[in-house]
Amino acid sequence: MLTPPRPVTPLGIIAANLEQLRERARELSYADATFATLLDTTSHLATGFEAYLETSTTQASPVLQSLAADTARRDWSDLYASGATAVALEQEMLSGHVEGKLLQFLVRATGAKRILEIGLFTGYSALAMAEALPDDGHLVACEIDAYAAAFARSWFDRSPHGAKIAIEVAPAKQTLERMHEQGASFDFVFIDADKGQYATYLDLLVGSELLTPTGLVCVDNTLMQGEPWADRARTPNGEAIAAFNAHVAADPRIENVLLPIRDGLTLIRRASAS
């Protein structure tokens, strides 16, 4: 039996917590009318927010919609337990509709032709960006898991834009170092991989010609379910993201803005970029 998606964004967690508070208040027969009204109103605001963004954003292509549905149908826990995947994956890793559409907007707005993605998973964000590339555009996707890479390629092959995408199945740092030696460069980079290596990937990009002078870097999950600032114990990923955000804020070579899209998306460019 497949597990339904769990809340993985700060707002999603807030909405789920508020719903539990409403249920608890009903169980306790809490009679304060003002409290109940405020709780209901706040809960409805939170629970409806992300769904409203979804319905108010231009729909994804049919291939992307089908890719997302196929990702949700897979039992990623069983696949990992059986050894089909080399690393633990979960359906919530998918970038999704609103973030995918934002990435398309950014690719078109920057005029990007060469894209690097670090962390492919099932390929939603890669295909979304490839749809926004011109016909002579190219995207290199780094993925460590062979099962996920094959899954993604099966969907790329169903899209007229899939031929723009090349998949490198290897540790991303190894792939980046090799491409640097080969003189590759990219004007748009999307990072959504192992959180503990985020700073390493960014330093490799900013400290070399891998990132063009005016290149844009987008980094996913930089709110990490609220862990960097919430008053609760952090997971290793929460610690890694908190350290990465501090690293970015203190780096004089770059400027950045953290957007509250899904689980946080940080946009980064060189401070000297025009």
Residues 239, 226: Cα–Cα separation, whole Å: 11
Q: In the 8-state DSSP scheme, what is residue 93?
A: G
Tokens linked to 22: 């409403």
Per-residue pLDDT tens, the chain, 274 aa: give them. 445 568 889 999 999 988 888 888 877 776 778 888 888 899 989 999 999 999 999 999 999 999 999 999 999 999 999 999 999 999 999 999 999 999 999 999 999 999 999 999 999 999 999 999 999 999 999 999 999 999 999 999 999 999 999 999 999 999 999 999 999 999 999 999 999 999 999 999 999 999 999 999 999 999 999 999 987 889 999 999 999 999 999 999 999 999 999 999 999 999 975 5
Phi, psi of 268, deg, nearest 5? -135, 140
Residues 227, 187: Cα–Cα separation, whole Å: 31
- pTM score > 0.85 for this model? yes
CB 79 within 8 A of CB 145: no
Q: In the 8-state DSSP scheme, what is residue 133?
A: S
Phi, psi of 7, deg, nearest 5? -65, 125
Q: What angle do CA 21, 23, 27 make, to 5 degrees?
A: 115
Tens digit of each residue's pLDDT (9 = 90 or more) over 33-58? 888 888 889 998 999 999 999 999 99
- What's the length of the chain? 274
Tokens linked to 64: 């992307």
Name residues whose C-beta falls within 8 Å of residue 235's C-beta, 6 or more positions apart in sequence.
Answer: 227
Tokens linked to 71: 């990702």
The residue among 270, 248, 255, 265 whose CA lies nearest residue 187 is: 270
